[in-house]
Amino acid sequence: MTGTILPAAILFLFLNGATGYAQKAAKGRIEKPTKKIYNPPYPNKPVKPFRIIGNIYYVGETNYTSFLITTPQGNILLDTMTDPEAPAIRKGVEELGFHLKDIKILLQTHAHVDHVGGLAKLKELTGAKVYVMAQDESVLADGGRSDFRSDGRELWKPVRADQTLHDGEKVQLGGVTMVAHLTPGHTKGCTAWSTEVKENGRKYNVLFICSNRLNDGVPLIGNKKFPGIAEAYALGFKTLKRLPCDVFLASHAYMFNMEEKLKRMQEGAQPNPFIDPQGCRDYIADYEHEYLYQLQEERAGGKSAGTAPAGR
């Protein structure tokens, strides 16, 4: 859909099909969300790299994430934090006993500086192939200049992708399959990734959520830089809700309570605290609630009230 302003009835019908909150909206107002889902400034401190589950390792920090997915034929890295933080990824990979040169594929959740700022450096260090969702390709390649929330400045070293992806496409290496799911809104090509892992003889569905945050000051209605942004977010929530999710990870560690789960893991908690299907459902519900509230306020003539600080 390309119209900048949809008639309210059509928009309502569209949302009603996609969300539980919209059904509540039929009866009355959507309550202002009370749950804090972002508490800026969230510190980004080093984390000792660790194995999350199966063949998935954490090489990110306390806020920005980076995941190493190992296979017998080389490894995959998902997200690279910012340029100054890229050396921490190298350190983490080596501390875990892996080699940077074994990284063959570099995947992204979305083209924002805290997830792709380190990509140019990692590409140079590893020689790996860069894959990106088609809708984020041009933004990645111009260093963020053409991002709909940007003022035209270059925000990271531009990277030309080796391969573009579309919704549902698979990236395969050494018997591991990562499926790319388009969950747009936060960026046009925001990508959730799903895969399967085995631990203690059981299979688990892993979901790496991109981000469903509203961007600060970016309107959902009448957005000339991103017409259809409201529908894009709705599509993202609809997609996330149909994906199986036992292990829930995301592009920011606070989104899946990484520090708290890690602490429980270190204390020997069983089963693995990162197996958290309820946490996954809660994440989707909380972010959808925030989105629907914002949409309601804009439709009522209120101001754009997105809360994510720039660059997140």
Binding site for Zn ion (CB under 5 A): 112
The 3-state DSSP class for residue 307 equals: coil
Gap between the Cα atoms of 235 and 239, Å rounded: 6
C-alpha Rg value of the chain to the nearest Å? 19
* Nearer residue to Zn ion within complex by CB, 38 or 50: 38
Least distance (Å) between residue 155 CB and Zn ion: 11
* Nearer residue to Zn ion within complex by CB, 43 or 301: 43
Q: Residue 143 has which token pair? A: 């260093």
Gap between the Cα atoms of 132 and 197, Å rounded: 23
Q: Which residue is nearest to Zn ion (CB)?
A: 112
Gap between the Cα atoms of 182 and 166, Å rounded: 7
Q: What is the dihedral of CA 168, 76, 68, 102, to 10 degrees?
A: 170
Least distance (Å) between residue 5 CB and Zn ion: 25
Least distance (Å) between residue 14 CB and Zn ion: 24
* Nearer residue to Zn ion within complex by CB, 277 or 311: 311
* Nearer residue to Zn ion within complex by CB, 112 or 123: 112
Least distance (Å) between residue 113 CB and Zn ion: 8
Listed in order, strand segments (DSSP E) in 36-128 are: 50-53, 56-58, 67-69, 75-78, 103-107
* Nearer residue to Zn ion within complex by CB, 30 or 122: 122
Least distance (Å) between residue 119 CB and Zn ion: 14
Sign of CA dihedral 229, 195, 246, 97: negative
Least distance (Å) between residue 112 CB and Zn ion: 3
The Cα angle at residue 83 between residues 257 and 236, in degrees rounded to 5: 45
* Nearer residue to Zn ion within complex by CB, 78 or 93: 78
